Structure 1
Amino acid sequence: MNTAANAYARTARSALSPREAESALLLKAAQRLISAEHGLASGEVRSLNEALSFNQRIWTLLSSEATADENPLPADVKQGVARLGVFVLRSCVDTMIEPTSEKIATLVSINNQLAAGLQGNPG
């Protein structure tokens, strides 16, 4: 089992609801991106690439779970999650290739916004 799935499993076993667990993982990924960005100015890209890979694994898991046939979400919500997932995954790769603070900020914002929505705090 990969690191993201292990983290997801550990979080899911706690007293958190699935939505709270997903929110916590998104916030963790956002924090890792923020922390890794600080090393970017000094040319440290390894921690950024690790944070981006973690974010990719989280989004792969979230997207596949949200769009699964057995998931009861409405079709338009599934489609929206799938599109957002594709955007995030592409953005992660693009940021690995050519990292900028703006690209990292976009990924952090998406994670934070979705986490807030999962917690029932839109916006």
Structure 2
Amino acid sequence: MSNAAAQAYARVAQATSSPRDTEAQALLMAANKLQAVMTNPDATFEQASAALVFNRKLWTIFLTEAQRDENPQPLDVRQNIANIAVFVLSQTAALQISLQREHFRPLIDINRNIAAGLCGRP
């Protein structure tokens, strides 16, 4: 597939995706970035940092959205999202200070499990 065709496909897919699908895809993208760093012994500090920053930004968005009064989700769902976000953000910050690749696994698992739930997969 040509680059132009791939970009056109991506625009159409994004325009027709539900918010849940978009969130799931972002979580999977973050998980894949973290996985790539975790499994590559030659990954640089810059690559690890970029993956962690992407994950941090994503979860900051989720936390901010969960705290909005206008969020249509029930309060208990919003609180659960906020609690998970606080955990993910604290783990991400710890990894940015002391890069231990084996500790990427919980973040990868959380992102993938939530993405699967958003897509309706067990």
Same structural fold, with TM-score higher than 0.5 when normalized by the shorter chain: yes
Of all paired residues, the percent bearing the same amino acid is 38
> Considering only aligned residues, what root-mean-square deviation do their CA atoms show, in Å?
2.0
The alpha-carbon distance between structure 1 residues 76 and 33, as it changes in their structure 2 partners (threshold 3 A), is: same
Deviation string, structure 1 residues 8-58 (Cα, Å, up to 9, x no partner): xx799521000000000000000011112234x347211011100000001
Per the alignment, in what secondary structure is the counterpart of residue 14 of structure 1?
Answer: helix
Per the alignment, in what secondary structure is the counterpart of residue 73 of structure 1?
Answer: coil
| 2:16 match | 15
When the two structures are superposed, what TM-score results if normalisation uses the length of structure 2? Answer: 0.82
In the TM superposition, what are the counterparts of 1:1-123 in structure 2 within 5 Å?
Answer: 13-39=14-40, 41-42=41-42, 44-122=44-122
Task: Give ranges in structure 2 of 5+ residues lacking alignment.
Answer: 1-10
Distance, in Å, in 1 between the alignment partners of 2:20 and 2:85 is 17
Distance, in Å, in 1 between the alignment partners of 2:89 and 2:14 is 26
* Count of matched residue positions in the alignment of Structure 1 and Structure 2: 112
Task: Tell me if the contact between 1:67 and 1:81 (Cα under 8 Å) persists in the aligned partners.
Answer: no
Distance, in Å, in 1 between the alignment partners of 2:12 and 2:67 is 21
Per the alignment, in what secondary structure is the counterpart of residue 73 of structure 2?
Answer: coil
List, as ranges, runs of 4+ consecutive aligned residues in structure 1 with deviation greater than 4 Å: 10-13
Task: Give ranges in structure 1 of 5+ residues lacking alignment.
Answer: 1-9
Of the two, which has the highest radius of gyration?
A: 2
